[in-house]
Structure 1
């Protein structure tokens, strides 16, 4: 079945980059099953630029999207949503600019057959490789393929890149991770990302059937196979250490799905990469490290998870990137600033800055000390300690709370006085704590809050670490000097009850100017409402955690002070 879309009916979020000479107002789409190497049939929808409802005949570059969220689906009222017709990832702009867009459901999801062995595993990555090479050979393709995605879709693009498909030339990747263990089980603690309940069959049954599936019987057969999918939450919860063997996959799964394992493969393949995220989104910690390790371009906006950055032409940026690497336009592209990122409060309001370096690289640590007086840049003073009992009676978190709320009522808070001057922070705060607990299995969560002059507050950075994971190790990839905890079982050291240990916790990156008159607050807690399995993992009795402050070696936070 061929479908057409008239350009006048599509509302674009932004116009495409002016570099693209073509401007195709219409789209023609088809859908069908494509078998991969083991014969599993994956659902593929292909969208071709058109004029007057006629598809452009000349071969064009192809942009591929690999998704678990159904490329085409219907809501309860029968309204059809198609990934390719949205501009959140610049796809509609890419079509208008003369690119074919292809969207496929991963195996075990949507209309695709098969079942998921594991979240972004090598089976899925190799499926993507097969589809990239299949697309490159189609008559509408000029042989060059790019990938784009954010969140799971961004991770899928990264994973496919690690298989080095010969036809994959460039990938624009948002809100994904470099190190799955250090992200999903950061500090040895599994929190909300990737652990939400698996979707019911009815969700996949709302997928629009492929053109060849006229009666929907193939869709029903495909969804029936999804019953064999590996459950995602139990997959992650069942692997406490980086080198844990998964009972579901029979592999050391954290390493299998950690893109850092395959960085040399991506580099040798010469695949161009661009990483982006937003400051109020936990994956941005990993996005910066991905860009650092691959020498990539970088973008960060002011918003939340995968929200197109306000005040920035994301579709135009995506088109420009692919115009250079797939259409070989703008030879001076490489001379443009490497990084573009939002600085909240810049010049009193906020704005984007460009730089040849990633954010925070030139910042230097400004130690702020915890003390009896609170939190500030003052000398550490006399040594003391404060103790609290972990509070598990926490308010329920949103189903997917991308950012925490202030935890001062559920932990130990150290508040500073009003700032006398603006404080520009760009980069990763690092908490350097001296703590002890009556339970060696205790967890430590830390939060850096901004308290405005009007008394309202918000979390601007946070982190977490198990006491037993306090040992520092040398990372197998560039960490920009941040502390790294291996998570290997051999490196886990449970302290004795009451034994003081040092914790170095890299917190989520910040990019803001805290104005004079505002205050900073540091909070330590032992649980976070965003832990989906909090009921199952809470300790009884609740641990008591002591934080040591003052003296020559008391607790502090190294703030990333920018020029």
Structure 2
């Protein structure tokens, strides 16, 4: 039975429904303890526990526990003494930490968690096996052992006298994905999760359309290798001399190198020589979709249009019938601008872990932001996805010139099919083309997010641009590109960018998609793929390019953007994104042809929302 509160000042704002003033903090302080807990196979995992304090003592009344399965250290030492010997350094660091409390916890990194503690929640953070101060070795990301750990950890919390047997989880990125993996094991006391910026399909991320996302995998692999083997993890309290931390880090030395593991797995069904498994399937969160669904765990998905995984979040939402909500904002992986994370988490957990009927499940489950919408109308709600009123409008590639860019062809983009019978554009592959070094992908491993004017890249590719728009056009959903191509070689990578060009000629990145031509076969999906083209990319699906034109069909990442009157829509086609993906180089450079005629009409289908001007 849920307790119903009157909502005195609940309003719908830029960051969603906010709590009113009726619910005030109960506690002002908290205490941190740390220890090891042991999971089913005997591995000891390090955990930080933050409990509210009353009258100088930890609150003994049972409270809900919200925890995070952390990949990048639950706590870190940030004042390291100088020693050349790593083990002496570890021991000295631990002693200094214990004496001076010179560590940084997740409450320092995630300040909004303090609000939850003040409102009567226990917060916990656990180092994953093989990471931080936890023992064990890692066989790669998202292992079954790691998921089983999540089950054991959840039930350990539920068994503590200070837990009311209602457990939730929080976290973003890797720590968002671990929440879905935890739900797949169906711990009896896991009631609600709040995954932010989390993956659905492992292969589609590491090899989108068959193209290896080399930079991300290499950079992320290097980062976690340094964390796992380094000396910055904080020991637990019982480890006074850091001997346990040293032993744990020694075990980490055998962790699997992620880059080495995945660089040799080009197909979805590629087998790993070491484990004899198919990691893209066995470790993909999407492979556990049925189990997550069966768990019944309530899920609040949070995503960003410029994150790495907006499609993924929508696939989670589309394929689950768990109690759920989804919010998609104008964010990249590391951004949550103008969004009240404390309030939204509090409302979610209050409802599911404290039986407070605060109305969070009464509104439409989809809440999304439209970029460049009129002030005060940026946020919209919906009951289904794709939006039922979308109209898929085909914008076809035509002969130029648009006069808007000095590209290889400067073609036109028109909402009418071509009338000629021989039209095509030839393009010699330029291996210097790039979407930049501050992309959604770079931001995913902690780099900058700042797409510059795309014109310099456009000039090296094939472009198709509309005339200036007569009125605003809203695109909300999943653009899909259809390219008819030939090439002087048997394969090739194709990158498509959707951009908005202003009156000064500045071209702003909106979204993108990619496909390796040999991966073009479209298969039946194992789940609801929102009507998008699904490339299974098994080894047996690979087909070389023939001598005659073939059609490549692939989706661009979803977006919600208003293209303003006076601006132009542009689609740019290149064959390389050198800073973000790995494309093999050939000499001399191959020539590809994009066809735009009555027999082979290339186009982009845009999900346009009518009556945009009435917003």
TM-score (norm 1): 0.91
Aligned residue pair count: 546
What SS does structure 2 have at the residue aligned with 1:159?
helix
373-382 or 31-40: bigger deviation: 373-382
2:361 counterpart SS class: helix
- In the TM superposition, residue 183 of structure 1 has moved relative to its aligned partner by 2.2
Map 1:328-477 to 2 at 5 A: 328-330=355-357, 332-347=359-374, 351-358=378-385, 360-373=387-400, 374-383=412-421, 384-394=423-433, 397-398=437-438, 401-402=442-443, 406=454, 407-477=457-527
Q: Contact between 2:386 and 2:530, CA under 8 Å: does it hold in 1?
A: no
Counterpart residue number, 2:165: 143
Structure 1 counterpart SS, 2:148: helix
Q: How does 1:66-465 map to 2 (within 5 A)?
A: 66-75=69-78, 80-87=103-110, 90-191=112-213, 192-196=215-219, 197-199=221-223, 200-201=225-226, 204-295=230-321, 296-308=324-336, 310-330=337-357, 332-347=359-374, 351-358=378-385, 360-373=387-400, 374-383=412-421, 384-394=423-433, 397-398=437-438, 401-402=442-443, 406=454, 407-465=457-515
Deviations 1:269-309 (A, max 9, x none): 2111111111111211111111111143110111211422x
Question: Aligned-pair distance for 1:86?
Answer: 4.2
Distance 1:232 1:409, change over 3 A: farther
Aligned partner of 1:550 in structure 2 is 597
The answer to whether the 8 A contact 1:435-1:500 is kept is yes
Q: How many Å separate the matches in 2 of 1:230 and 1:22?
A: 44
C-alpha separation between the residues in 1 aligned to 2:417 and 2:428?
28
Deviations 1:498-525 (A, max 9, x none): 3321111110111111110111111111
Contiguous gaps of at least 5 residues in structure 2:
1-14, 82-101, 401-411, 444-448, 611-615
Counterpart check, 1:64 vs 2:67? yes
- Aligned partner of residue 464 in structure 1, secondary structure: strand
Matched residue SS, 2:357: coil
Per the TM alignment, residue 16 of structure 1 is displaced from its structure 2 partner at its CA by 7.1
For residues 427 and 499 of structure 1, what CA distance do their matches in structure 2 show? 32
Q: Could you tell me how far 1:366 is from its partner in structure 2?
A: 0.8
Tell me: CA distance 1:257–1:44, structure 2 relative to 1, closer, same or farther (3 Å). Answer: same
Distance 1:124 1:369, change over 3 A: same
The answer to whether the Cα contact below 8 Å between 2:366 and 2:381 also exists between their aligned partners in 1 is: yes
For the residue of structure 2 that corresponds to 1:347, the secondary structure is: coil
Q: Partners of 1:362 and 1:68 in 2: how far apart?
A: 41
- Indicate the larger mover: 350-359 or 176-185: 350-359
Moved more, 350-359 or 118-127: 350-359
Q: Is the 8 A contact 2:366 2:384 kept in 1?
A: yes
SS of the equivalent of 2:332 reads coil
TM-score by length of 2: 0.84
Which residue among 558, 569, 584 is the counterpart of 1:509? Answer: 558
What are the Cα deviations for residues 326-365 of structure 1, in whole angstroms up to 9, with x where unaligned? 1111164322121111111112686111222246454121
Name the larger-Rg structure: 2
1:320 Cα deviation from its structure 2 partner: 0.6
2:288 match: secondary structure: helix
Please tell me the root mean square deviation across aligned C-alpha atoms, in Å.
Answer: 2.4
Does structure 2 retain, via aligned residues, the 8 Å contact 1:205–1:219? no
**CA spacing shift, 1:170–1:477, aligned 2, 3 Å:** same
Q: In structure 2, what is the Cα distance between the partners aligned to 1:279 and 1:450?
A: 15
Q: Distance in 2 between matches of 1:274 and 1:202?
A: 29
Cα separation, 2, equivalents of 1:307 and 1:51: 34
CA contact (8 A) 1:155 1:173 kept: yes
**Aligned 8 A contact 2:300 2:326 in 1:** yes
Q: Distance in 1 between matches of 2:588 and 2:143?
A: 38
Q: Distance in 1 between the 2:570 and 2:466 partners?
A: 6
Q: CA deviation at 1:75?
A: 3.0
Structure 1 residues 53 and 382, CA, compared in 2 at 3 Å: closer, same or farther? farther
SS at match of 1:302: strand
